[in-house]
Amino acid sequence: MKHFNIAIDGPAGAGKSTIAKEVARRLGFVYVDTGAMYRTMALHFIRSGIDPKDEQAVAASCRDVDVSLRYENGVQQVLLGGENVTGLIRTEEVGNMASATSVYKPVREKLVQLQQALARRENVVMDGRDIGTCVLPDAPAKIYLTASSAVRAGRRYKELVEKGMECDLAEIERDIIDRDYRDMNRENSPLRQAEDAVLVDSSCMTVEQVIAAILEAAKSRGLEVE
């Protein structure tokens, strides 16, 4: 069977990673966490002492960085120059650097090449903000997963409270709305729903209902499930 790719796009906090991981697990596909790849690039920039506002320095540094993926028991591991940095890229500092530098074209070009090469070799479920529109425009199954800003803020608030962190629900929603605006209006690869993508609004859906909707959409686009 020709490799079948499922592209899942959507705004921050829509639950893309959680859903994509489970869809990939059920289908026996490879899950590609593109956000982790951008965070790995960001870690490289931090270690190199690069100012995220210095686009020329970021672009020059892209030529030297070696980001690769490895899968252990079906779980993606990200490597930076051969070093497994999977456990080092989830800090706020790395996240802020990734947000600031992922808008630059050289960063996106570097990682898109790797993501496309993976999709040519494997059946993948890949999530992000420009997968169906830019990274895998020929993917047979494209999903645009979203939810209202209020619902997404509530989910994030619950996660933080469960971790024992103090937070403000209104501030979280403002941050989400601001990030949506930046993602949808950036110059390179803005967030938008591909014309042939299936819209899934998870605002009033359970995780299981979302997964079922995505699997059904993939089947309607030619996915053969044994």
The answer to whether position 8 is within a domain reads: yes
Q: What is the pLDDT of residue 2?
A: 72
- Joined together, the tokens standing for residue 120 give 């040519």
Please check if 21 is assigned to a binding site: no
Q: What is the pLDDT of residue 19?
A: 95
- Same domain? 138 vs 200: yes
Give tens-digit pLDDT for 184-223.
Answer: 988 878 899 999 999 999 999 999 999 999 999 999 999 9
Please check if 15 is assigned to a binding site: yes
Please check if 11 is assigned to a binding site: yes
Give tens-digit pLDDT for 9-35.
Answer: 999 889 998 999 999 999 999 899 888
Give tens-digit pLDDT for 41-76.
Answer: 999 999 999 999 999 999 999 988 899 888 887 788
The answer to whether position 72 is within a domain reads: yes
Please check if 10 is assigned to a binding site: yes
The answer to whether position 35 is within a domain reads: yes
- Name the domain boundary from 103, 122, 141: 122
Please check if 12 is assigned to a binding site: yes
The answer to whether position 225 is within a domain reads: no
Please check if 13 is assigned to a binding site: yes
Q: What is the pLDDT of residue 91?
A: 81
Please check if 17 is assigned to a binding site: yes
Domain encompassing residue 171: 1-14+125-220
CA distance 111 to 66: 10
The answer to whether position 138 is within a domain reads: yes
CA distance 156 to 33: 19
- Same domain? 135 vs 118: no
Give tens-digit pLDDT for 110-136.
Answer: 999 989 988 998 899 999 889 999 999
The answer to whether position 46 is within a domain reads: yes
* Residues whose CB falls within 8 Å of the CB of residue 111, separated by 6 or more in sequence, listed in order: 34, 37, 38, 41, 67
**Long-range pairs of 172-179 with CB within 8 A, sequence gap ≥ 24:** 173/149, 176/11, 176/12, 176/13, 176/149, 176/152, 177/149, 179/11, 179/12, 179/99
- Same domain? 139 vs 71: no
CATH code for the domain in which residue 202 is found: 3.40.50.300
Domain total in the chain: 2
Please check if 164 is assigned to a binding site: no
- Predicted confidence band of residue 86 (pLDDT cuts 50, 70, 90): very high
Instruction: Tell me the whole-structure pTM to 2 decimals.
Output: 0.84
Is the pLDDT at 226 greater than 80, yes or no?
no
Please check if 18 is assigned to a binding site: yes
Q: What is the pLDDT of residue 151?
A: 96
